[in-house]
Chain A
Amino acid sequence: QVQLQESGPGLVKPSETLSLTCTVSGGSITSYFWTWIRQPPGKGLEWIGSIYYSGTTTYNPSLKSRVTISVDTSKNQFSLKLSSVTAADTAVYYCARGPEYSNSWYVYWGQGTLVTVSS
């Protein structure tokens, strides 16, 4: 069974860079798109961006200037960096995976990790 697990600091200072890693177990990272989605407390879901295992990325235009997603196939991990964070970036961050070769819907999700932006 595929499992995803987010890891990274739970507290980030304003203007700094948020960094999270998603570790994939129970399956290969190849042939799939890997996605980051966030949810501010009490609010809805926002798609941040995706990376194909080959390294091709797609980002939400609203965040594109601040987002970098990368993949390390040797470690079965992919990562998110969000620069110049503000309080508006406080959210639960989820990593997710869809069906093979498709970035359409998300079957497998991590448990989510709350990142708070505060000094």
Chain B
Amino acid sequence: DIQMTQSPSSLSASVGDRVTITCQASQDISNYLNWYQQKPGKAPKLLIYDASNLETGVPSRFSGSGSGTDFTFTISTLQPADIATYYCQQYDNLPPTFGPGTKVDIK
């Protein structure tokens, strides 16, 4: 299986801050990388697919970049509604695998 790592595992930032999360794959996955947001007690929500494509209806303050093994997820201006855990997911190889998550809260 392809192993996904994320850093940091958690972060605390102020409203309006720029937040960056990194995701690394154990091997080259091209751009087959997705990002999800999960709020407590809720199902994950797709934010970004294929590394940099914003899912329909997702605010433009969310963005993604990267290819190969290294990827970045950014919230340009952190909002209170963005408090959640964020997961990356690869689908280059079966089984699809998820990163361990990054918990984001407000300072």
Contact = CB atoms under 8 A, between A and B. Distances in A.
A59 B97 CA distance: 12
Contacts of A62: 1, 95
Contacts of A60: 95
Nearest to A111: B43
Question: DSSP class of A's interface residues: helix, strand, loop or mixed?
Answer: loop
Interface stretch (A9-17, A20-28, A44-52, A69-77): A44-52
Question: DSSP class of B's interface residues: helix, strand, loop or mixed?
Answer: loop
B44 A109 contact: yes
A61 B94 CA distance: 9
A67 B32 CA distance: 26
Given A46-B98, A47-B97, A61-B95, A106 B44 contact: yes
A86 interface: no
B91 A103 contact: yes
B101 A44 contact: yes
Interface size class on chain B is 20 to 34
Interface residues of A, number: 21
Q: Which of B32, B94, B97, B99 has the most CB of A within 10 A?
A: B94
A44 B99 contact: yes
23 contacts: A44-B87, A44-B100, A44-B101, A45-B89, A46-B98, A47-B95, A47-B98, A49-B95, A59-B95, A60-B95, A62-B1, A62-B95, A94-B44, A96-B43, A103-B91, A104-B34, A105-B46, A105-B49, A105-B89, A105-B91, A107-B55, A111-B42, A111-B43
